Structure 1
């Protein structure tokens, strides 16, 4: 019996790798991608980056302005995420199987979450630029909408996975809807919700760089500006500061998660 299971798994694995190989080779043929040229170009790009893409003394004179733009990006990401989290919590309570008002509210909420979550952030930024042009509001709204979709879905799953023992105990005592939410659902779900919120802040700080390039705001705009000017030394300083910021935020988030979870 175990031999048959092992053989079936081995055959499934061979089929998977065979299909993956066919798709890879087919993609290379259709796109006419030259693997040898790709590896050579990668090596040349690394050599060029080492030779040109590093901060110099002149770029350091622009550090203050870059830090101000970086602060703008971080604050915008945090604001968009936290405001979206509040609304996402309300939508999650209306859409969760445990706390939903009725089946219609659950369907509508899950539909909104799927729509906002499955459309890429870049697409939202481009759509919003048609209405608000290039402005901080465009970047904020793009991050807000993306965060709302993701957090609504994550919060609903968190509420659904929470223990129902306390909910059933309160229902047995005749507790009202809001008593159940504030005394049972939220206390058991809040640590995981905070973890999702921190994760979304990390993600938005990274995504805000790309959104900034499109909307002309924040640190993304600074990178785009220096790169198009061929000022690679200052552009590299922007990249280094972004990496340091993301690593710092991630480290803080991980420490908070270890405390609350």
Structure 2
């Protein structure tokens, strides 16, 4: 029977580290130094927070005291009233438009991102500078926030549905390209090497090995991207004057907080429903 090597626990490792190396004796000052270091780091963090708050005029104590009254005001003002449900004829079409734009931008970005990921993969890509270019494109589009894309595109396409769609598309494209690259690179190389040895073409390798082995991960990432885009599309709508974000902005600025609260409730229900649906699909395909 083979003996198992037991790894020392954190407590045992700490006790060993607390021993004097010269004499092999327990050193109580080790824990004192460690505690002092942690306390010093905590004090520095508190001091930096206090200095930053003083510089910007933020009263942390008053903010803590105002939290209960703030939540109480929100609960009273944003609670949907019976007359607010009469606005569902305006809210639901805008919410549907936002959801469809999120799905369309995610799926369109997924198709193009998968093509770029396959060509730029280190295992099944075309080689040369393509992998570096693919990762550079993914990093560029992924690291620019969707709000920044919306501001940039507003100057070119003005306030329109296409502006919101394009902003979500660019962010989704960068994010999904990076995710697909990692998923394809982590695949087993056995089927790919077997097809290459059999003389399969590049298209046959992609169709017979890459797609079947990565499709589960691809679907999971696309579903996650749709959930994320539904949340982001609300904020984008505030900037582009479209979708559910625009409806919320109109009623909020009109001091119709009860209708704005109903809009928020509708967004929450839509996001939860989308998450439950995506979780169900993931369980069926994984």
Could you say whether these structures have the same fold, taking a TM-score greater than 0.5 normalized by the shorter chain as the test?
yes
Structure 2 partner of 1:136 = 161
CA-to-aligned-CA distance 1:81-132 (integer Å, 9 cap, x gap): 0000000001101111112112311111110000000011100000000111
Corresponding residue SS for 1:62: helix
Matched residue, 2:61: 36
TM-score for both structures, normalised by structure 1? 0.94
Do residues 249 (structure 1) and 249 (structure 2) align?
no
- 1:17/1:86 CA distance change after superposition, 3 Å: farther
Q: Is the 8 A contact 2:117 2:181 kept in 1?
A: yes
Once the two structures are overlaid, the 10-residue window that deviates more, 50-59 or 64-73, is: 50-59
Give deviations 1:209-239, integer Å, cap 9, x for gaps: 0010111110001111110111100000000
Q: CA 1:13 to 1:123, structure 2 compared with 1: closer, same or farther past 3 Å?
A: farther
Structure 1 position 43, deviation (Å): 1.1
Q: 1:77 to 1:22 in 2, by over 3 A?
A: same
- Tell me the CA shift for residue 4 of structure 1: 7.3
* Structure in which a larger fraction of residues adopt helix: 1
**In the alignment, which residue of structure 2 is the partner of 1:259?**
284
**Aligned residues between the structures:** 261
- Residue in structure 1 matched with residue 136 of structure 2 by the alignment: 111
SS in 1 for 2:125: coil
Q: Would you say 1:195 and 2:220 are equivalent positions?
A: yes
The CA deviation string for residues 173-199 of structure 1, in whole angstroms up to 9 with x for no partner, is 121111111100110000010000000
Change (3 A) 1:172 1:116: same
Partner Cα distance (1:239, 1:38) in 2: 24
Q: When the two structures are superposed, what TM-score results if normalisation uses the length of structure 2?
A: 0.86
Question: How far 1:28 moved relative to its partner?
Answer: 3.0
> In the alignment, what sits opposite 1:26?
48
| Superposition deviation, residue 16 in structure 1 | 7.0
**Aligned CA distance change for structure 1 residues 37 and 74 (closer, same or farther; 3 Å):** same
Report which structure shows greater RCO (CA 8 Å, sep ≥6): 1
Match of 1:88 in 2: 113
- Tell me: CA distance 1:14–1:233, structure 2 relative to 1, closer, same or farther (3 Å): farther
Q: Deviations over 1:25-55 (max 9, x none)?
A: 3033223232211112211111101221111
- Please tell me whether Structure 1 or Structure 2 has the larger radius of gyration of its CA atoms: 2
Distance 2:36 2:139 in 1: 34
Q: Which deviations, in whole Å up to 9, do the C-alpha atoms of 1:130-188 show, x marking residues without a partner?
A: 11111111100000000000000000000011111111111111211111111001100
Does the aligned pair in 1 maintain the 2:53–2:60 contact within 8 Å?
Answer: no
Mark the runs of 5 or more structure 1 residues left unpaired by the alignment.
Answer: none
Change (3 A) 1:87 1:16: farther
- Cα–Cα, structure 1 residues 42 and 195, in superposed 2: closer, same or farther, change >3 Å? same
Q: Matched residue of 2:122: which SS? A: coil
Question: Paired residue for 2:234, among 199, 209, 226?
Answer: 209
The aligned counterpart of 2:74 is: 49
State the alpha-carbon separation in 1 of the partners of residues 140 and 34 from structure 2: 34
CA distance in 2, matches of 1:95, 1:42: 50
CA shift, 1:241, in A, is 0.3
